[in-house]
Structure 1
Amino acid sequence: MLNGSCLCGGVAYEVDAAPGSIVHCHCRTCRKTHGSAFSTVTNVPRDRFRWTNGEGLLRGFESSPGKTRYFCSRCGSHIVASREGRDTVLLRMGCLDTPIAERPEVHIWRSDSSNWYDPKDELPEWSEGTRPKPAS
């Protein structure tokens, strides 16, 4: 069982299925929607997905013909997207609360990617948001 929610906790969902292929999407609409270099997403069966809280808080935006992105009207978290006539729902992995073992498989829409991020760059990692203090 997968569980997910928005930043404020007002909207929540569950999926009685494993995630599908996980991808990092660099398309322009994902970058603009999330204000980031890419969005990490996976597909799950629509008939195994259900809202468990706050469905009334959801708002939708048709970002391209037939594709609607749904977000919480209170905190702005983009939670899912769906395409008309498809039997899957696209989960935004940043809203997933359940730990999973699966890992992303590919970067897609690299032709549309930002010029300031390259997934091949190796960067230092910090456990928190500030530079670690040097050992004395």
Structure 2
Amino acid sequence: MAPREVFMSSIHTGSCLCGGVRFEIRGEFTAFYLCYCRRCQKGTGSAHGANLFSGSASLVWLQGEALVQVFRLPDSRHVRGFCQCCGSALPVQDSAAGWLMAPAGSLDTAVALRPRGRLFVGSRAGWACELDRVPEFTALPGEK
């Protein structure tokens, strides 16, 4: 796979893991946060959510819109879009509230914006601290 070129674009494309859902986001992202709250940990199965936000971008489903499911946690602001087939995180747009949230990992195009901050670090899992000290591998350990 060729490396992705880093550039700013007003159009970003993305997809789910199984390829059943494809989308386009038209407009600029204005914020990028890593969220360590327990809700994002549960929703991602990982240390944090990595979400891009925009108050003006629009979301266009190119393929598989019927496969998109949205979960809203009652009595909270927590919302999560995902593919019903593979479970991949997908963008959610709330036009009435005027925002769009896109999981950074769902994009197939590069984003030059870097995370602005880490939210709810008091909820961070103990194993997610000091990750810069963990060895890095370009493949599975032991593979060449």
Question: TM (normalized to structure 1)?
Answer: 0.85
The list of structure 1 runs, each at least 4 consecutive aligned residues, that deviate by more than 4 angstroms after superposition, is none
1:69 corresponds to 2:90: no
Structure 2, unpaired ranges of 5+ = 1-10
Q: In structure 1, the residue corresponding to 2:20 is in which secondary structure? A: coil
Say whether the 8 Å CA contact 1:68–1:82 is kept in structure 2.
Answer: no
Give the share of equivalent positions with the same residue, in percent. 30
Say whether the 8 Å CA contact 1:4–1:97 is kept in structure 2.
Answer: yes
After superposition, the CA RMSD in angstroms is 2.2
Instruction: Indicate how the Cα distance of structure 1 residues 107 and 6 shifts in structure 2: closer, same or farther if over 3 A, else same.
Output: same
Q: In the alignment, which residue of structure 1 is the partner of 2:138?
A: 127
Equivalences for residues 1-136 of structure 1 within 5 A:
1-45=11-55, 48-65=58-75, 67-82=78-93, 85-119=96-130, 121-131=132-142
* Cα distance in 2 for residues equivalent to 1:36 and 1:120: 13
* Superposed displacement of residue 91, structure 1: 0.5
Instruction: Indicate how the Cα distance of structure 1 residues 21 and 81 shifts in structure 2: closer, same or farther if over 3 A, else same.
Output: same
Instruction: Indicate how the Cα distance of structure 1 residues 49 and 73 shifts in structure 2: closer, same or farther if over 3 A, else same.
Output: same
Question: TM (normalized to structure 2)?
Answer: 0.80
Instruction: Deviation per CA, 1:56-113: give whole Å up to 9, x if none.
Output: 0111211243543211001011212455842111101111100122211211111211
Matched residues, number: 133
Q: In the alignment, which residue of structure 1 is the partner of 2:7?
A: none
